């Protein structure tokens, strides 16, 4: 008997449990080598989980919408159709802790925004006639009552993406022959099991009944774990006031070219970190880890109340226009929960900007695995004394750095802030070179 367990994968270093968004295959369906079988919500993104075995999805242990710890069994795959009933009996007799009769089922994961690379390499995922649909497109199609079989996908290998669904819905071309109820399973069709709702939208949270307990989302639970992990780190904070007249003028000049203020600030910080590698370092039990790249994480609030930090990699070396385009793409995919792990867990220094909310000053919590985070407040007109003894009005913002005191000391942080202010105040044009 060749029956394999499918286990909940660890899709990130901080993931302890995952939520089943939807099963792409239904019990009894044929499973091709390298084919997506389930979509799992990790603590940061929705991921397509693929199999390396051919066979049949015999039994689902964890249904859509349910969660399971990393490493626990979520389904059984039988190599032959005749073994499907045996797999069901095995699941019923021994529960989720059933011991597989052969090696555990290997799996691979890719974010839903990308074409599954492994599946393409194995040459089995993009069979002629098979409908390839992103999880977001499936969810949107269900909400808008769009028949996916009528669509021609614009993504890689004909993959149907959310934009395809929206385009058809907006044009009002939904065919009259679209089925009212889901048809019987077809081997080359989209999954029969409807996608489970993803994390709650803001509206239900706002409309919650007083006294009601609303469970934390996967994102929020991840934030809780990370914040608790920082309690043991001894930190200190240093504040600084930076005049932004020159930066604001530059921003107005190049804003029409797609440049964002976030990208400008990230670039300024990254360039300054070149002179202060200790601020870009992190602590380990073996000593100080000096990172070879300067990757700037920027905190982004999610619609469901979670928090994610997309990473602008090599921000010191990338030109400001490319950096801005990258940032726009990262934010869009972060809010659609389609980032790949390296796009949110490779940061070496973090920015947290609440200036757009009118916040003057705040303290940011140091993320695990980094040495510093910079909190940025709003830029406001302030009356200041000029060098010639007069008064003038200048645009100024307050920044506040939080650093790991095990490796970074007050003088190090102060010197970094001093050089950052000098760059922004006297030579902001250099950020475009």
CB neighbour burial string for 28-48, b if at least 16 within 10 angstroms, e if fewer: ebebbbbbbbbbbbbbbbbbb
User: Are 75 and 38 in contact, with CB atoms under 8 Å apart?
Assistant: yes
Of 33, 27, 119, 127, the C-alpha closest to 81 is: 27
Burial of 194 (0-12, 13-18, 19+ CB in 10 A): middle
The residues pairing with 394 across neighbouring beta strands, listed in sequence order, are 382
* Token reading at 427: 């030579």
Whether 412 is a known active-site residue: answer no
Helix H or strand E encompassing 86: helix 84-94
From 59, 276, 405, 412, active-site residue: 405
User: What angle in degrees, to the nearest 10, is found between the helix axes of 261-273 and 320-335?
Assistant: 120
Residue 426: left (phi > 0), alpha (psi -120 to 50), or beta?
alpha
Torsion on CA atoms 334, 339, 342, 347, rounded to nearest 10: 0
Structure tokens at 12: 């990130």
Sort strands 55-60 and 73-78 into parallel, antiparallel or unpaired. Answer: antiparallel
Catalytic sites, residue numbers: 405
């Amino acid at each position: 008997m060749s029956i394999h367990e499918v286990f909940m994968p660890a899709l990130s270093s901080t993931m302890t449990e995952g939520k089943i968004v939807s099963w792409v295959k239904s019990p009894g369906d044929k499973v091709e080598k390298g084919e997506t079988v389930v979509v799992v919500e990790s603590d940061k993104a929705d991921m397509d989980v693929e199999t390396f075995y051919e066979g049949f999805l015999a039994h689902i242990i964890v249904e859509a919408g349910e969660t399971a710890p990393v490493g626990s069994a979520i389904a059984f795959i039988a190599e032959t159709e005749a073994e499907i009933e045996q797999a069901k009996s095995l699941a019923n007799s021994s529960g989720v802790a059933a011991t597989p009769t052969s090696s555990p089922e290997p799996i691979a994961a890719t974010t839903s925004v990308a074409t599954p690379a492994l599946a393409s390499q194995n040459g089995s995922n993009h069979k002629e006639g098979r409908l390839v649909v992103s999880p977001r497109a499936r969810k949107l199609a269900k909400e808008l009552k769009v028949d996916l079989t009528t669509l021609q996908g614009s993504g890689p290998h004909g993959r149907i993406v959310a934009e395809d669904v929206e385009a058809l819905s907006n044009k009002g071309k939904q065919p009259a022959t679209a089925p009212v109820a889901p048809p019987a399973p077809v081997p080359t069709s989209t999954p029969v099991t409807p996608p489970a709702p993803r994390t709650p939208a803001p509206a239900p949270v706002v409309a919650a009944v007083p006294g009601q307990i609303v469970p934390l989302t996967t994102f929020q639970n991840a934030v809780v774990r990370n914040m608790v992990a920082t309690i043991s780190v001894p930190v200190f904070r240093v504040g600084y006031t930076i005049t932004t007249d020159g930066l604001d003028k530059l921003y107005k000049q190049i804003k029409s070219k797609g440049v964002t203020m976030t990208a400008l600030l990230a670039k300024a910080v990254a360039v300054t970190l070149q002179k202060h590698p200790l601020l870009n370092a992190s602590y380990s039990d073996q000593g100080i880890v000096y990172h070879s790249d300067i990757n700037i994480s920027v905190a982004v609030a999610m619609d469901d109340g979670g928090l994610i930090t997309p990473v602008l990699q090599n921000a010191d070396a990338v030109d400001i226009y490319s950096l801005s385009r990258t940032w726009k793409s990262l934010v869009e995919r972060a809010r659609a929960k389609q980032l790949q792990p390296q796009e949110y867990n490779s940061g070496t220094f973090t920015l947290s900007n609440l200036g757009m909310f009118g916040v003057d000053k705040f303290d940011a919590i140091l993320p695990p695995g980094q040495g510093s985070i910079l909190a940025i407040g709003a830029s406001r007109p302030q009356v200041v004394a000029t060098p010639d003894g007069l008064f003038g009005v200048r645009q100024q913002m307050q920044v506040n750095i939080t650093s790991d005191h095990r490796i970074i000391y007050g003088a190090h942080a102060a010197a970094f802030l001093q050089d950052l202010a000098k760059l922004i105040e006297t030579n902001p044009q250099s950020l475009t070179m």
